[in-house]
Amino acid sequence: MKNYIAILGLALLATFPASAASPFDGKLIALDAGHGGGETGAVGNCSGIAVIEADVNFYVRAELEKILDANHVAYFEVPRIDSRKDRVAAAEAAGSSVLISIHHNGSLNVTADYTQSFVTQRNDKIFAGYIHPAIASALKLRDKGIKNDGYGMTVYGSLPGVLTEAYFITNTEAACDFLKYRDNGATNTRVQKEAQAMYGGLYSYFSR
């Protein structure tokens, strides 16, 4: 019996190695899906069907959350309240380690398309240095880089944060790509590439 227990113990050890340390241990990722509530953000169009930025932001967050769940990473969903300052306060009160504010760009020019991110504070720049390049290389659009602009939620609080504008949802191709994802269950769309890139950037940041 003793031997049996010892063997069982070894078998269990083999199956569940002493929990491999994850760079995410003790971390909480605050995820803000930009706009929502009364705000639509930018509005794109694919064959007469409107594509609302607030929806795209929401779906990218949901896709990232699936990846975080699969990797047992803790996250905090920032409530979609109107005040950006209050959104940041909620993320800080929850004990978040970093903040990603997910947005998508808009233009009257339906061919405009590039990747850009925004930061405000010193901590933001270090964090954005991991998130932005990951998104840019995944989407392979023109990379307009990280802009230090005192813009959006990165203005408030002291969490390392980045506001991402991965692409233009007013771009016709991007709007149609989103509908293929949302309505037809397409894989390998921009939404999925963006979420996967954000996860990769987070992994690198916490592994540094």
Asked if 41 touches Zn ion (CB under 5 A), the answer is yes
- Taking the complex as a whole, how short is the minimal distance between the CB of residue 52 and Zn ion, in angstroms? 11
Asked if 36 touches Zn ion (CB under 5 A), the answer is no
> Which of 34, 133 has the CB closer to Zn ion?
34
- In the region spanning residues 153 to 182, those forming contacts with Zn ion, defined by CB under 5 A, are none
- Taking the complex as a whole, how short is the minimal distance between the CB of residue 41 and Zn ion, in angstroms? 4
Asked if 152 touches Zn ion (CB under 5 A), the answer is no
Measure the CA–CA gap between 94 and 169, rounded to whole angstroms. 31
- Taking the complex as a whole, how short is the minimal distance between the CB of residue 103 and Zn ion, in angstroms? 3
Measure the CA–CA gap between 177 and 30, rounded to whole angstroms. 26
Measure the CA–CA gap between 35 and 103, rounded to whole angstroms. 8
Measure the CA–CA gap between 63 and 191, rounded to whole angstroms. 7
DSSP single-letter state for residue 95: T
Report the greatest alpha carbon distance in the chain.
Answer: 75
Asked if 34 touches Zn ion (CB under 5 A), the answer is yes
- In the region spanning residues 91 to 110, those forming contacts with Zn ion, defined by CB under 5 A, are 103
- Taking the complex as a whole, how short is the minimal distance between the CB of residue 183 and Zn ion, in angstroms? 22
Buried/exposed code over 40-73 (b: 16+ C-beta within 10 A; e: otherwise): ebbebebeeeebbbbbbbbbbbebbbebbeeeeb
> Which of 97, 117 has the CB closer to Zn ion?
117
Of 37-45, 117-125, 167-175, 187-195, the segment contacting Zn ion by CB under 5 A is: 37-45
Chain position whose Cβ is nearest to Zn ion: 103
Measure the CA–CA gap between 117 and 8, rounded to whole angstroms. 52
- Provide the binding-site residues for Zn ion, judged by CB under 5 A: 34, 41, 103
